[in-house]
Amino acid sequence: MDIDKIGRTTLEQLMFYFGIPVGLFVFGAIMTMETPLGIAYDGQVAMAVFALALVLWVSKAVPNHVASLIVLILLSVLGGWSEKNALGVFGYDVIWLMVAAFIITSALAKSGFARRLALWLVTTFGRTTSSILLSMLVANFLIAFLVPSTTARAAIMLPIMLMVAQAYGVEGNPNMGKLLAIQGLQANNISTTAILTATAPQIMAVGLIKDLAGVQVSYTDWLIASAPIAVLTLAGSFWLGKLLYPPQNLGSGGVGSLDRLHEEYRKLGRITPIEVKALAIFALTILLWVTDEWHVPLFGFKISLVMVAVIAATLFFLPKVGILDWKEADIPWNLMIFSAGAYAGGLALDGSGVASWALNGLFATLGVTGMSFPVLFAVIMLIGSFSHFSFTSKTVRTVILIPTVIALAKATGVNPIALALPVAFTLSDTITLPPHCKPNLIYYGSGFFSVLDQLFYGVGVLLIKWALMLVAAFTWFKLLNIT
């Protein structure tokens, strides 16, 4: 489904027509202002180019892949980032992972197994739109315990989500497609915050807390403290999503009818040899992802997340073994270009030091050293949750946020763990824009939602989480002796 073909609202029409002039004005204003103290010319260029791109992405004044090509051109020509670095983003692992993920999706779709799985899921748990959405949220949360990578989990869930969307006929029920895709990426990232080992930067954060604050945080400590917040945030996401994008009800006999889905499932009959092949390759892929930390003892070498996906894609193409021809691989190359430009813009901001400069300036402007603990906690959590607007890398956010917050806590006489551990729970709150993390880009490739949809919905969910964190500071976290 092409989101750009959906009828635009009046606001979207205005944004479409004024996106280019507004973007050029913002770009020109940043480029012509005096270079701020603390950043160099390349940082000013990176900031101007990313601001222009953000306006174009949100307004959809030009196709998103065109906006990303503009990013690559301007960064290279104006000196915001070297041409070699900007164009080299096409070789980044996230691009290869996305290509491989869509090859895997194409193979599962051709085999019919993904459709069988989706129809089984829908007909077993999908009594209503609410139950199928909840089952997808629960699946995302559970696999976070097994797969220590947000990107791998997105690659696992994407084919299932697409087939569920197909079964529900999202062309006639677009809000259902939005909810499946956006809640999918939100569940991926929010579930990560519940489990220490679900992403490497969280482990790094615990190490920094031990080294800089002298407090050891165990796997269980993290789980007990953060999991309730994650679960309640997922509940908030589910509630807010149905409020913002109410999907069409099921059971009417038209698109999305449960009777129709049951009939489609019965027509599939027994599992076929081609489905068995697809299932075997997909099962091998998941097994290699899940056993990542045991590769060296088992094989003598480690197979990276990306290389596992490339191996799976290769197996699907192999004669006799696989089931795909190249022309059958449905790879959205416009998404690859969009992703490369978005990633280049974010990396240029990080590499030029603009992100660090912006965070330090924000702390200074807010005057956090003179705040009471409740106000200080509220400000730090808000900054932590939304810091991904400046830092596209969780690792970068970890390296900058955790030491800064610990130093700030010491300067204000606050127990460092009271700020550092809760802010570590916000490291994976990257749910507002497609380029903010790899899973976002993968789900964006479905075409079920726009940049503005994700931004509006994501900000709402993060504000819900922020409110939950404030309540926890004086209840749950206090009971656990964190605050």
The reported pLDDT for the residue numbered 396 is 65
Residue with tokens 């603390």: 38
CA 190 to chain centre: 9
**Listed range (1-15, 59-73, 220-234, 382-396) with the worst mean pLDDT:** 1-15
Residue 2 has pLDDT above 80, yes or no: no
Domains held by the chain: number: 1
Residue 144 falls inside a structural domain:
yes
Report CA 453 to chain centroid distance, whole Å.
14
Q: Take residue 69 and report the two structure tokens written for it.
A: 């090509």
Instruction: Answer whether residue 156 shows pLDDT above 80.
Output: no
341 falls within a domain: no
Q: Flag whether the pTM goes above 0.75.
A: no
Residue 35 lies in a domain: no
Is the residue at 85 inside a domain? Answer: no
Q: How confident is the model at residue 296 (pLDDT cuts 50, 70, 90)?
A: confident
Which among 386, 389, 396 is positioned nearest to 342, based on CA atoms? 389
Q: Which pLDDT band, with edges at 50, 70 and 90, does 57 fall under?
A: confident
Which of 465, 466, 450, 411 minimizes the C-alpha distance to 67? 450
Q: Is residue 435 part of a domain?
A: no
DSSP state of 245: S
pLDDT of residue 433: 87
Amino acid found at 126: G
Residue 452 lies in a domain: no
Average pLDDT over residues 447-475: 94
Task: With respect to residue 297, please indicate whether it lies within any of the assigned structural domains.
Answer: yes
SS3 79: coil
Residue 141 lies in a domain: yes
pLDDT digits (tens, 9 = 90+) for 92-142: 776 787 788 778 878 877 887 766 776 677 678 767 788 888 888 888 888
The letter for the amino acid at 74 is: L
User: Within a 10 A sphere around the Cβ of 444, how many other Cβ atoms?
Assistant: 27
Q: Would residue 168 be called left, alpha or beta, if left means φ above 0 and alpha means ψ between -120 and 50 degrees?
A: alpha
> Region 205-224: what's the mean pLDDT?
84
Tokens of 51: 């601001």
pLDDT of residue 408 exceeding 50:
yes
Is residue 287 very low, low, confident or very high in pLDDT (cuts 50, 70, 90)?
A: confident
Q: Amino acid identity, residue 97?
A: L
Mean pLDDT throughout 257-262? 64
Helix (H) or strand (E) holding 421: helix 416-424
Ranking 68-72, 74-78, 160-164 by mean pLDDT, the lowest is 160-164
pLDDT number for residue 325: 92
**Out of 185-199, 399-413, 428-442, 467-481, which region has the weakest mean confidence (pLDDT)?**
399-413
DSSP code, position 252? S
Interatomic CA distance for residues 426 and 344, integer angstroms: 24
Q: Which of 437, 148, 99 is nearest to 305 (CA)?
A: 148
Least confident of 35-49, 243-257, 258-272: 243-257
Q: Does 413 or 81 have the greater pLDDT score?
A: 81
Instruction: Give the separation between CA 304 and CA 293, rounded to whole angstroms.
Output: 10
Q: Which two tokens stand for residue 382?
A: 């808000």
Q: How many CB atoms lie within 10 A of CB 212?
A: 16
SS3 43: helix
- For residue 37 the two structure tokens come to 């103290």
Lowest mean pLDDT among 37-41, 130-134, 325-329, 335-339: 335-339
pLDDT at residue 347 tops 90: no
Range of the domain at 155: 93-199+216-328
